[in-house]
Structure 1
Amino acid sequence: MSPSSRPFVVGLTGGIGSGKSAAADRFAALGAAVVDTDAIAHELTQPGGAAMPALRAAFGDEVVSSNGALDRAAMRARAFADPAARRQLEGILHPMIRAESDARVAAASAQPYVVLVVPLLVESGSYRARCHRIAVVDVPEAVQIDRVMQRSAFTREQVESIMAAQANRAQRQAVADDLIDNSGDIAALHTQVDQLDRRYREQASMLVRLS
């Protein structure tokens, strides 16, 4: 989807533990349509999910849990240990995620604008061309580590390994049209999202007028 297409699309991203979900929830509460690529990935890899036959064929039963869903911990360990396995995983999932997210964005044309949540937006390269604006939820790396350790009971080494496979803070900042500082409390986050919501509504309206 090109930036000239409708609807107006905001790409929302940020590193692990940055607070993307909290920001997305606030945008949704304000009336924006939210399309979350991570949620789509979970749907594709749940029991009976569309990606499961290909994943089982590629990686075997050891990455499939007893209920038929993807064993995310096993798959994560394998992907981080083996770059070729990670590329194979991405080759299966990414086209399916993109197709479904495109469909959901197109279906949200009646909404004021769409927030497309892409955790690996910077890394993917292709999503930038599909968005009119890029909003990055930004926190210091030390805050990311602390939050993920508390939330997910990961070790510091596990969190640092995940972060090492993602774009770094400077790289995300470099692509941002709008930075959301989430180093404070939830009220501060909401204030910033509320301001962006007003701006995006104006920009979306302007796009319609110019079309």
Structure 2
Amino acid sequence: MRKSNKIYYFPGLISALLIPILFWYYASQRVHKPYTVLDLGIPAKHKYNDSIDNTFESVRNWKYRKIIVKPNEVLQNQHYYISELKKLQQRNQKETGIEFIIDDKNNYQDLITLINTMQLAKQETYAVDVGNTGHFFAVHFYKDPNKIDRANGCSTGDHWQYFRYKESYTGFERIKYLLDLPKPAYYIIFGFLLFMNISMLSIKERFQLNLK
């Protein structure tokens, strides 16, 4: 009676130990650290021309409610600013707005928070009076409630990308999404394939030895 030899599966044991460690190491790291970026487009300063420029001058003398913005307190008062902007929009009066008074004591964070406040309040028009007062203005343009706005087929704002379901999740199109994986994911995949290849070769050699 032929005595069977024990098969020691060392490559498989190594891969079973290393792969969970690799998964834990790379999964515990933050692959894509989130950043919030705000792009401010500031035009070059030039001499004002009424015939071609669309600047703040045409609305400078409107009736503005003045609000003093204290340094480093904009975020604390953001809800108050939003409520005042909502009231401005609901009143819907002609040639009105809010003047947020800022000066050299205010920092960059105060300006960013004011811009974010405009977005949260859905304030359509706002501007910084650069080169003159330096104040931040929220301008309200009167909207006729009886007027019907008509679209002409052109839209602005967010960019939307449309794709068909079958092309994105089947066939070669699905494989192309592998290119978007983070770099550590390739190490894990390569290590798994390498250990699997070594394991298969080891099993093959063991079976060949047993058959002899």
TM-score normalised by the shorter chain: which range applies? under 0.3
Task: Indicate the structure with greater helix content.
Answer: 1
Higher RCO (C-alpha 8 Å, min separation 6) = 1
**Which has the higher Rg, Structure 1 or Structure 2?**
2
TM-score, normalised relative to structure 2: 0.26
